[in-house]
Amino acid sequence: MKKHIPNAITCLNLLSGCLGIVFAFNSSLIVKGYENLIYAAYAILAAAVFDFLDGAVARFLKAYSDIGKELDSLADMVSFGVLPSVIVYHLFLKGEQIEGVSNYIGYSAFLIAIFSALRLAKFNVDERQSENFIGLPTPANAMLIGSLPLIIAHSSPFWKAYILNPFFLFIFSLGMSLSLVMELPLISLKFKNLNYKENMLRYVLVLASILAILIFKFAAVPIIILLYIVLSIVQFRIIR
């Protein structure tokens, strides 16, 4: 039975993604205008926790399986591919409407789902990604997108006008989609041991992330993702 425990946790990841999509489309959750997307963002966070736990439990129980690997990708496609696209699409709807443009440009949000599928398929067959990532992982991409409604709701109104600008959302959707499949090696956040020298940049990222969250709260997520990419460039383009 123990080999099915990680798969059950993966299914909770999938359930979180499904509920997040329901939240995003559920107008009855709207009180101040963004509650539906805030609940959807929390669903991404829950899915990320389950995505971390299924791998950790599988390693602890030594319960690896090909089905588990495929199930994980399918769950990630919903939680970190479709759900983020739905959130960005709703941000398009809530933003400034431009006649002759807004009716079509909002569909660019679903590029994120398409490129997430490409990213996950590539990950399953790319032997270069056994130790580190190539391209931004879908969970990191999804959490960055999920932070947008939280930033709008809880941060300075200054950011709202920029985030809800349809041209910004279009460029953002295109940029995040391309980041998923870019040929840029990125650090894996899995600690094989606690050796400081081998994990120095990982420790820097973790400590800087905690500090950023304490200072900037939800607005820290884009900073953390940017720092993650910069540290990866330092690791693979400069140190090596």
Q: Which domains does the chain have, with CATH numbers?
A: 2-183 (1.20.120.1760), 187-240 (no CATH)
Summarised one tens digit per residue, pLDDT across range 8-49 is 999 999 999 999 999 999 865 655 567 889 999 999 999 999
Q: Which residue has the tokens 């939240």?
A: 23
State the chain's mean pLDDT as an integer: 88
pLDDT of residue 39: 93
pTM for the full model?
0.90
Beta bridge partners of 134: 185
Average pLDDT over residues 222-230: 92
Per-residue model confidence (pLDDT) at position 195:
65
- List the helix and strand counts (H, then E) for the chain: 11, 2
The SS3 call for residue 69 is: helix
pLDDT of residue 121: 92
- pLDDT over 80 at 133, yes or no: yes
**Torsion of the alpha carbons at 40, 27, 115 and 80, rounded to the nearest 10:** 20
Least confident range from 26-40, 105-119, 148-162, 214-228: namely 26-40
Name the pLDDT band for 61 (thresholds 50, 70, 90).
Answer: confident
Buried-state track 144-163, b at ≥16 Cβ within 10 A, e below 16: bbbbbbbbbbebeeeebeeb
207: buried, middle or exposed (CB in 10 Å: 19+, 13-18, 0-12)?
A: exposed
